[in-house]
């Protein structure tokens, strides 16, 4: 994550909608990766210093769940990020706007990750065969109403997120029930987008062959593998070849978990570099140097958290086999980047 500033020079944050120094309303332009001051112009909230003018996303204007700008000349009144939505939560239900705001913030963070890495972000409205969309859905586990259970996952270009993941108490309860050491909204999104981008690389014979050498066969029966995982638990030796226990359930889950950890590592190192905590820019490091730097830096982060009485921020071990899988993820990202530029 890069550092952000208001046009007055004061630092602001990725979720900011107001500069605390100059007191002006601000919004983020995904085209320039900069924040700009806003003013009310006719029926729109517009950027003061942009030409052509940009307006605040309608989801920001009406629901205060978005701080991104959209081009004034565009047909859609939604910003780049909000155009990736297929279904949003039922806003007639109390508390859902608050949960939706959390989901949108994390989706914008994910998209900024992908943009920074040069990975093509295409929504399915524009490209049904290559794009992806998000469903933010609600189930009724509280028994208030009958309904279906919503499972967070990926299928056919659709990333489904159960909005309870945006509720800290519900998320922690599910984390404990699943015996997980890490569970976040952003982590879910990074994992599920990994499933999508596998669909974008599997047509390349060399990449797919390399994938099967490192992760195993993607054609292994998925439903049976997951059923066995949940019935018997992970392989006792999972830590010798996977980044998480869940990754051992099936090669596709191994891929998605490894992909998400690549994004964790890249984003954390990029943030650390931009805030002066590490001296090396991860954009110019080999994958093995990235991992070496991350091993050292994550230990320091864990110790810092322990100093504050908190759990480790990165409670994972990257062994040689996992490092090799992370190297494949970087190879796949290079493929996606080059494909989009050709």
The band of 142, judged by pLDDT with boundaries at 50, 70 and 90, is low
SS3 130: coil
Task: State whether 164 and 192 are in the same domain.
Answer: yes
Burial of 86: CB neighbours in 10 Å, binned 0-12, 13-18, 19+: middle
pLDDT the model gives residue 46: 67
SS3 255: helix
Q: Which of 45, 78, 111 is the last residue of a domain?
A: 78
SS3 48: coil
Task: State whether 337 and 264 are in the same domain.
Answer: yes
Tokens of 233: 């638990």
User: How many structural domains does the chain have?
Assistant: 3
**How many whole angstroms separate alpha carbon 155 and alpha carbon 160?**
8
Q: Per residue in 172-181, is it b (16+ CB within 10 Å) or e — as a string?
A: eebeeeeeee
pLDDT the model gives residue 29: 93
Task: State whether 332 and 254 are in the same domain.
Answer: yes
**Cβ–Cβ under 8 Å, residues 163 and 137:** yes
Task: State whether 269 and 342 are in the same domain.
Answer: yes
- E strands, the chain, in order: 4-5, 11-12, 26-29, 34-41, 44-47, 54-56, 69-71, 85-87, 133-137, 153-155, 158-162
**How do residues 302-315 score in pLDDT, each as one tens digit?**
999 999 999 999 99
**How do residues 39-97 score in pLDDT, each as one tens digit?**
865 555 666 665 568 899 999 999 999 999 999 888 899 999 999 999 999 999 889 99
pLDDT the model gives residue 44: 59
Q: Which of 197, 225, 244 is the last residue of a domain?
A: 197
Task: State whether 186 and 218 are in the same domain.
Answer: no
**How do residues 94-121 score in pLDDT, each as one tens digit?**
899 999 999 999 999 999 999 999 999 9
The DSSP-derived string for 66-127 is --BEEETTSS-SS-TTGGGEEE---TTSTTHHHHHHHHHHHHHHHHHHHHHHT----BTTT-
Angular region, 179: left φ>0, alpha ψ -120 to 50, beta rest: left
**How do residues 76-87 score in pLDDT, each as one tens digit?**
999 999 999 999
pLDDT at 331 exceeding the cut of 90: yes
Task: State whether 223 and 336 are in the same domain.
Answer: yes
Q: Which of 154, 170, 197 is the last residue of a domain?
A: 197
Task: State whether 100 and 178 are in the same domain.
Answer: yes
pLDDT the model gives residue 94: 84
Task: State whether 153 and 33 are in the same domain.
Answer: no
Domain with 251, as residue range(s), is 202-342
The DSSP-derived string for 219-242 is TS-HHHHHHHHHHH-S-TTGGGT-
Task: State whether 218 and 155 are in the same domain.
Answer: no
pLDDT the model gives residue 53: 83
Task: State whether 252 and 327 are in the same domain.
Answer: yes
pLDDT the model gives residue 139: 81
**How many whole angstroms separate alpha carbon 45 and alpha carbon 56?**
5
Task: State whether 212 and 126 are in the same domain.
Answer: no
The band of 145, judged by pLDDT with boundaries at 50, 70 and 90, is low
**How do residues 272-299 score in pLDDT, each as one tens digit?**
999 999 999 999 999 999 999 999 999 9
pLDDT the model gives residue 310: 94
pTM value is 0.92
Task: State whether 102 and 171 are in the same domain.
Answer: yes
Tokens of 140: 């009724």
pLDDT the model gives residue 39: 81
**How do residues 168-213 score in pLDDT, each as one tens digit?**
998 998 888 888 889 999 999 999 999 999 999 999 999 999 999 9
For 17, which DSSP code?
Answer: S
């Amino acid at each position: 994550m890069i550092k952000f500033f208001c046009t007055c020079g004061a630092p602001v944050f990725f979720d900011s909608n107001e500069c605390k120094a100059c007191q002006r309303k601000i919004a983020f332009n995904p085209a320039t990766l900069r924040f700009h001051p806003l003013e009310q112009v006719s029926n729109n909230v517009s950027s003061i210093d942009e030409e052509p003018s940009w307006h605040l996303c309608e989801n920001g204007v009406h629901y205060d769940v978005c701080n991104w700008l959209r081009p004034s000349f565009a047909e859609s009144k939604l910003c780049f990020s909000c155009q990736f939505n297929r279904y949003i939560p039922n806003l007639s239900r109390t508390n859902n706007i608050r949960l939706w705001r959390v989901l949108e913030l994390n989706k914008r963070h994910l998209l900024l990750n992908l943009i920074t890495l040069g990975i093509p972000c295409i929504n399915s409205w524009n490209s049904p065969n290559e794009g992806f969309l998000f469903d933010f859905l609600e189930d009724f586990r509280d028994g208030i109403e009958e309904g279906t259970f919503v499972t967070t996952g990926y299928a056919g270009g659709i990333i489904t997120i159960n909005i309870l993941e945006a509720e800290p108490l519900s998320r922690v309860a599910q984390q404990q029930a699943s015996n997980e050491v890490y569970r976040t909204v952003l982590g879910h999104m990074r994992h599920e987008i990994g499933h999508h981008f596998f669909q974008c690389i599997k047509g390349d014979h060399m990449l797919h062959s390399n994938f099967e050498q490192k992760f195993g066969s993607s054609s292994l029966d998925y439903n049976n593998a997951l059923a066995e995982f949940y019935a018997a638990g992970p392989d006792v030796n999972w830590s010798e070849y996977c980044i998480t226990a869940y990754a051992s359930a099936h090669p596709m889950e191994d891929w998605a978990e490894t992909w998400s950890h690549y994004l964790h590592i890249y984003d954390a190192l990029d943030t650390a570099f931009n805030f002066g905590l590490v001296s090396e820019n991860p954009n110019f490091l080999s994958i093995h140097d990235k991992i070496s730097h991350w091993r050292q830096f994550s230990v320091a982060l864990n110790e810092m958290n322990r100093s504050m009485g908190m759990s480790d921020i990165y409670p994972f071990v990257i062994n040689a086999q996992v490092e090799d899988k992370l190297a494949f993820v970087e190879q796949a990202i290079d493929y996606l980047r080059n494909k989009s530029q050709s």
